[in-house]
C-alpha cells in the first residue's frame, strides 16, 4: 500500500491539463503525479520541469534520454522508475535490440560508443557517493557538447528526484508500466515489489 494515496486525475484541473504530456510519454498519467497533486504547486512544477528536461535541443534523442533514466533508476534501485523509463524508451523509438539488452549496454553491439559514454555518465552520477570523474568527462567530451551534457544531467537529476519519491511513497505501479517491466526487465528479475 502506498504511503500516500494518489488522488483522482480530475482533482486539479491545471495539473490534469499539464499531465496530458504523460499520455504521449507513457500512455497514462503516473500515480506519482497524482500523489504530488495533493500540493498542486509541486505537481505543476514537476510536470513543467519534466517537459523542459525531456525537450530535445541537441543530439541527445528522446530514446536515449529514457535509457539514461533507466540506468539512473537501476543504479538507485527504483523499480517503479525502471519500468516507466523502459516503457518510455520503447514509446520514443529505442531499438528493439537496445530494449532487450539494456542491462548489457557496455558490451552489446546495439549501443554506440557515444551512447555508452552517456549511459556510463548516468551510472556514475546516480551513485552515492558520486562517481563522475575525469575518465567519465573525457569520454563524454569525445561525443557530446556542453549543452548536451546539461540535458543528460537534467534527466539524471530529474530521476534522482523521482527515484526518491517513488521508492519512499511505495507508489502504486500502473498496469502499462508493469507490462513493460515484465517484457524488458523481467528476465533479469524485475518485479513490482512494494509498488502494488
pLDDT value of position 1 = 79
Long-range contacts, stretch 139-146, CB < 8 angstroms, 24+ apart:
142/113, 142/114, 142/117, 143/113, 143/114, 143/117, 143/118, 144/58, 144/59, 144/60, 144/114, 144/117, 144/118, 145/58
State how far the alpha carbon of 44 is from the alpha carbons of 12, 41, 88, in Å: 10, 5, 20
Tell whether 62 is covered by a domain.
Answer: yes
Tell whether 7 is covered by a domain.
Answer: no
| Residue 149 belongs to domain with CATH number | 1.20.1290.10
pLDDT tens digits for range 42-91:
999 999 999 999 999 999 999 999 999 999 999 999 999 999 999 999 99
Distance CA 122, CA 155 (A): 9
What is the span of the domain harbouring residue 147? 13-188
Number of domains in the chain: 1
Whether pTM exceeds 0.85: yes
Angle, CA of 121, 122 and 128, to the nearest 5°: 100
Tell whether 110 is covered by a domain.
Answer: yes
pLDDT tens digits for range 83-116:
999 999 999 999 999 999 999 999 999 999 999 9
Look at residue 153 and tell me whether its pLDDT is greater than 90.
yes
pLDDT value of position 6 = 95
Give the three cell numbers for residue 41. Answer: 504547486
Tell whether 49 is covered by a domain.
Answer: yes
Tell whether 2 is covered by a domain.
Answer: no
Query: What mean pLDDT, rounded, does the chain reach?
Result: 96
Tell whether 118 is covered by a domain.
Answer: yes
Amino acid at each position: 500500500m502506498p504511503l500516500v494515496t494518489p488522488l483522482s486525475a480530475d482533482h486539479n484541473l491545471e495539473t490534469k491539463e499539464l499531465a496530458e504530456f504523460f499520455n504521449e510519454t507513457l500512455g497514462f498519467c503516473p500515480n506519482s503525479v497524482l500523489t504530488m497533486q495533493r500540493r498542486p504547486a509541486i505537481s505543476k512544477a514537476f510536470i513543467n520541469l519534466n517537459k523542459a528536461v525531456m525537450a530535445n535541443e541537441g543530439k541527445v534523442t528522446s530514446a536515449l534520454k529514457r535509457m539514461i533514466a533507466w540506468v539512473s533508476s537501476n543504479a538507485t534501485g527504483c523499480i517503479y522508475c525502471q519500468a516507466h523509463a523502459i516503457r518510455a524508451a520503447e514509446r520514443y523509438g529505442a531499438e528493439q535490440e537496445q530494449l532487450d539488452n539494456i542491462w548489457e549496454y557496455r558490451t552489446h553491439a546495439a549501443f554506440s560508443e557515444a551512447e555508452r559514454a552517456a549511459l556510463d555518465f548516468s551510472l556514475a552520477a546516480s551513485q552515492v557517493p558520486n562517481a563522475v570523474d575525469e575518465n567519465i568527462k573525457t569520454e563524454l567530451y569525445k561525443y557530446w557538447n556542453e549543452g548536451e551534457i546539461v540535458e543528460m544531467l537534467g534527466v539524471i537529476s530529474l530521476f534522482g528526484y523521482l527515484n526518491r519519491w517513488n521508492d519512499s511513497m511505495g507508489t502504486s505501479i500502473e498496469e502499462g508500466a508493469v507490462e513493460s517491466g515484465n517484457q524488458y526487465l523481467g528476465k533479469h528479475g524485475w518485479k513490482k515489489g512494494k509498488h502494488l
